[in-house]
Amino acid sequence: MGGPFDLTGRTAIVTGANTGLGQAIAVALAKAGAGIVAVGRSRMDETRELIAPTGRPFHEITADLGSIAPIAGLVEEAQAAAAGDGSRLDILVNNAGIIRRGDAIDFTEADWDAVMDVNLKSTFFLTQAVAKRMLADGRGGKVINIASLLSFQGGIRIPSYTASKSGLAGLTRLLACEWAAKGINVNAIAPGYFVTNNTQALREDAERNAAILGRIPAGHWGKPEELGGAAVFLASDAAAYIHGVVLPVDGGWLAR
């Protein structure tokens, strides 16, 4: 490939890479040359098959990010996998995330904690653990958080999701400020409305579906592969001087 977007020889951890946006990001990074360490609680067979034609290394680590318990072990395993490929942990994509829907007035503590634990707490402590490795050899790295339009807007019926994704935008900026001078770029991507499990309930609700579709200037729900380019860009040397941005990939939704 060559050029500023080339990721050859680098290794990317992608959480939640078995499906949806995480899978699309893993495939895009592999096509750009990166080896992939796919982390999640479900089998990654489909992603492995999609990446096979690229010829890039692919490793799978099973971990439930509903708690921070597996983080130290998974980072150790990921580091060993990268080293076995003659690489290192260059890129971390914090993609794993969940959503719980319910009116704020009735929202439960369980639905609050579950979302915060995966979307914010595990993301922070995984990033901390990987950053220690990135800093140890003085070569830095790239962290890409998968934020949301709810990092900018309020939404309805998703209080813990909005709090977690708004928090993630703030965390992205804080980590960028702390680590920019140490060679780690921390940025985020804010996907608009994409066709994945996360948005199935919205797409099945005819009224919400029509309202959402009618507001997207591009005129269609995002396809997961339409997110890959932004991830490759932020993971690459082309983004070397970009720190703390939350990049919308939303078909123009926020421009409205």
Ligand X SMILES: NC(=O)c1ccc[n+]([C@@H]2O[C@H](COP(=O)([O-])OP(=O)(O)OC[C@H]3O[C@@H](n4cnc5c(N)ncnc54)[C@H](OP(=O)(O)O)[C@@H]3O)[C@@H](O)[C@H]2O)c1
Catalytic residue set: 161
What's the per-residue H, E or C state across the chain?
A: CCCCCCCCCCEEEEECCCCHHHHHHHHHHHHCCCEEEEEECCCCHHHHHHHHHHCCCEEEEECCCCCCCCHHHHHHHHHHHHHHCCCCEEEEEECCCCCCCCCHHHCCHHHHHHHHHHHHHHHHHHHHHHHHHHHHCCCCEEEEEECCHHHCCCCCCCHHHHHHHHHHHHHHHHHHHHHHHHCEEEEEEEECCECCHHHHHHHHCHHHHHHHHHHCCCCCCECHHHHHHHHHHHHCHHHCCCCCCEEEECCCHHHC
Give me the least distance between CB of 191 and ligand X, in Å please: 4
Q: Using the rule CB under 6 A, which residue among 10, 20, 141, 236 binds ligand X?
A: 20
**CB nearer to ligand X: pick between 79 and 94:** 94
Residue of 11, 95, 166, 236 that binds ligand X (CB under 6 A): 95
Q: Which one among 48, 54, 62, 66 touches ligand X, defined by CB under 6 A?
A: 66
14 near ligand X, rule: CB under 6 A: no
The interface with ligand X within residues 141-200 (CB under 6 A) comprises 146, 148, 191, 193-194, 196-199
Q: Which is nearer to ligand X, 22 or 141 (CB)?
A: 22
* Nearer to ligand X (CB atom), residue 25 or residue 87: 25
Among 11, 22, 58, 78, binds ligand X (CB under 6 A): 22
Is the Cβ of residue 87 or residue 150 nearer to ligand X in the bound state?
150
Pick from 45, 46, 49, 64 the residue near ligand X by CB under 6 A. 64
Residue 78: Cβ within 10 Å count: 25
The residues binding ligand X (CB under 6 A) are: 16, 18-22, 40-42, 64-66, 95-98, 118, 146, 148, 191, 193-194, 196-199
